[in-house]
Structure 1
């Protein structure tokens, strides 16, 4: 077999594989199956840890209070202390709503060195929770009136379920390079692959995506409580692994929730990307999730490399065929982004999808070598496995946020 034929066949195989993985994810985005509704919706406590001042926080808080759940709901907003910049925003929204016994604010203090700030707030909220079920929601989530009900329907309508979680979609129209990168990472890469993997497993995953998640109390007790995630950087994914080990299922809701991010500069987005990759080191299983993205990245770079070799050897047809592989990868993640519910990128930002893959090796290398990450105004030291380095110096206070 001569070189020209070998390169042509390899480029064709890569292109066919990209088409296959696109169709696999596109089919899954049509929706996970709906679960049967319970006769009665039990009471639920929704715990919302808040740190720093998220984009659109006031609207997120109002959406949290207008939850549309048909059963009793208790909402707990959890802060470190009254100095948090988001506290006046929440205080204003609660004052406008008037006094309500179903809404409270808690101050949990700063976390110990072996615990993330989010996990610390979750544990403090759980101690005060009165609901039969417990949910945890990130502060940058803006739910609609069907999200919480569908989440509970999924949890109670699935045999052996210990937790349910919702896929998220970045819905704000991208204004900057950082916005475009953020939206494509969530809507074009992370969520479509997770939804497709869940669809292949009957709606469940061996981990939890924790932006919008609900638990049965008995499941939390069975795994040793939330405290079992001490020392973990990615507490939600770890809790999902624990539930799996104890025979519980982590099921994905069919109803996505919006995650709000807009106006991020490239300088602000890159640390987020590095942090996500750091999370994946200890939080995501290889075969169930990470391998897919490694293969997509490999196809992108292999197609690009073959195109360069073919161009150097004056093989224009091979160069065009192989060069279409990275183009197809970039087109795929933008199309999936739109199909999931994201706003189409303006033409001035369509190049961002290609830039993500071109810079991916450098960013991934940076994530692998990081011994510290900044996350919502805190700095965490990491051990070689990407977990918290549980020494007295692990948590280094920072000013501002």
Structure 2
């Protein structure tokens, strides 16, 4: 039993959710990248002092009572404190050093580093040290709004719960130092934290090792009161740059003071306070694990997208270079010798499949007959069960050499096969019902078939209705994308598609592949691939011009490209074995299918994420690199577009829309690829998408002077 599936709809919700999740993880990673390490403030806040009882007190401030309590370290007791970590390089070295000297310390870690290095967080606690909060992104709590401070502290607690299953009671505010330097804004931030249950830890001896003064200077600042035998909290850093001088200084301090009876321990143990860490609830642990997973995934995505951003840019530039080189080679090959047409050429049958083409069928038929082809020409119009006046219009023309074939609606492939069967000539030209030829198109299109190796010829399809931005975008796409590609495919002998608008075929070639098949929605691509696998050469003829009506609205454009892309994916899958075949078929398959897979499937799938990363780079990283890369890529595309337009004898005026095309039009085509691949993976049989014609050629008899200006 055949199960019919409807076209997918709900996956758009999944796509939006996926885009939202990606954006959220990138935003979280960007938020986490606010960690810059210790540094002097660029705009220090005003410095009215905090209350005297705090500024003249000890470095540990407890606010669990009615009045703040300042606590000092006992004599000959040192609390080594390390800010900004954990760091994968320097924190393990400090931990190894502390273990060798049987010393313990307090690590004031940022939430983002806790999430990035959960194994180091757990090691710190496992080896008897304690962890305090240093906010999530090393924010200046004195200048940040209260809600941001609460968020920073809460996120740090979540990260601790997710990595080690604990919360912490200790806080060291970034950019804080000694009690006597505490400003009023800092005091307000400290009071806010105190009401949330934190014990605020300042310092006795700020080594300022973040400024990299050298190991000896760090030692001197750490031992400022050595002779008096006082205890102290010493501020150091285990992240934020090269901490080799800090590691060396800590070892000197330990070696020098340990023999003198100093003990090195944690802040809470020295002051006999409750342990800094408390067990987190199961709910907090689960939320923390989610936060940690999201940040780690965001970091991984950022690194991966950086690579993808560069790789996509390099691939696109290389593709443009190859296209331009091949276009030049093709141009020289075609134009090297002046073309001399014979006095007579073989008979030609033009097959026009038509379904509801009343808007332009008359112009199409007239243009096919108004030609300078030096040989017999017949036009076979196949009315594929049209519900409009297509057949009546063709009959009313009453033109010699035109035959009308009526059949029930069966789709374009069946209409083409019916026309091929009814045609009399051995040279067959297949034309869409909305296409207008120039007078010299037929002879230019058929001329390459004088080579017996050539089984088919692709013409040069042009957009006729190119007024308006959408029309110009499609015109640029046809000239730069399709026709530059076809020149390259001709040079490498791997043409994947002869457009339905204009193509010439040997009857023998069509018979050898079983005619036009109907098991894909891209019958033109399927047929061209079959010819390539059968060993026939397919060439591109730039002088065989056909003017076609492009979709006039975004909805119509979507329907057309959806069918094209879905059908192309079907054809690629159908002919996938060509990659493994030998001889001409294998060379054709490896060249054609590899190119299509990379540039029409993989890159469009990656492009939305890469574009999102470019916006992320502008917002959270150095905006110069992505901006310059986009500008350089657009400049190269404009230059390539100018060359392509020149090759086709077109005006370069529409190029002004190219930068905007990269922002709007390109995104639409990416979504088409995603929609097509989802539809294909779900095993849905897509219906034929009928494009409504607006009648661009309804009043055009088909003479060159009346066609769009080039």
Q: TM-score of the superposition, structure 2-length normalised?
A: 0.45
**Match runs of 1:1-400 below 5 Å:** 17-29=315-327, 31-32=330-331, 33-34=333-334, 37=341, 40-53=344-357, 56-81=360-385, 83-92=387-396, 94-95=397-398, 97=399, 100=400, 102-111=401-410, 117-156=411-450, 158-175=451-468, 177=470, 179-201=471-493, 205-224=495-514, 226=515, 229-261=517-549, 264-284=552-572, 285-294=592-601, 297=604, 304-305=611-612, 307-324=614-631, 327-328=634-635, 331=638, 335=642, 338-339=645-646, 340=648, 341=650, 344-345=653-654, 351-370=660-679, 371=684, 372-376=686-690
Identify if the C-alpha distance between structure 1 residues 140 and 332 changes in structure 2 by more than 3 Å, giving closer, same or farther: farther
Structure 2: how far apart are the matches of 1:54 and 1:343? 33
Q: Which moved more, 1:365-374 or 1:180-189?
A: 180-189
Q: Which moved more, 1:39-48 or 1:350-359?
A: 350-359
Identify if the C-alpha distance between structure 1 residues 7 and 133 changes in structure 2 by more than 3 Å, giving closer, same or farther: closer
1:48 to partner: Cα distance: 0.9
Identify if the C-alpha distance between structure 1 residues 299 and 221 changes in structure 2 by more than 3 Å, giving closer, same or farther: closer
1:347 to partner: Cα distance: 5.6
Identify if the C-alpha distance between structure 1 residues 289 and 335 changes in structure 2 by more than 3 Å, giving closer, same or farther: farther
Contact 1:173 1:342 (C-alpha < 8 Å) held by counterparts: no
1:231 to partner: Cα distance: 2.5
The count of aligned residue pairs is 361
Contact 2:428 2:504 (C-alpha < 8 Å) held by counterparts: yes
Structure 2: how far apart are the matches of 1:214 and 1:48? 12
Contact 1:238 1:283 (C-alpha < 8 Å) held by counterparts: yes
SS class of match (2:372): coil
Identify if the C-alpha distance between structure 1 residues 369 and 205 changes in structure 2 by more than 3 Å, giving closer, same or farther: same
Contact 2:638 2:658 (C-alpha < 8 Å) held by counterparts: no
Contact 1:207 1:241 (C-alpha < 8 Å) held by counterparts: yes
Structure 2: how far apart are the matches of 1:126 and 1:54? 22
Structure 1: how far apart are the matches of 2:409 and 2:376? 30
Q: TM-score of the superposition, structure 1-length normalised?
A: 0.75
Larger Rg: 2
1:42 to partner: Cα distance: 0.9
Structure 1: how far apart are the matches of 2:659 and 2:625? 25
Structure 1: how far apart are the matches of 2:671 and 2:610? 18
Alpha-carbon RMSD across the aligned residues, in angstroms, is 3.8
SS class of match (2:688): strand
Q: Which blocks of at least 5 consecutive residues in structure 1 are unaligned?
A: 112-116, 379-401
Q: Which blocks of at least 5 consecutive residues in structure 2 are unaligned?
A: 1-240, 242-303, 573-591, 693-710
Structure 2: how far apart are the matches of 1:200 and 1:317? 38
1:120 to partner: Cα distance: 1.3
Whose relative contact order is higher, 1 or 2, with alpha carbons under 8 Å and at least 6 apart? 1
Structure 1: how far apart are the matches of 2:615 and 2:434? 42
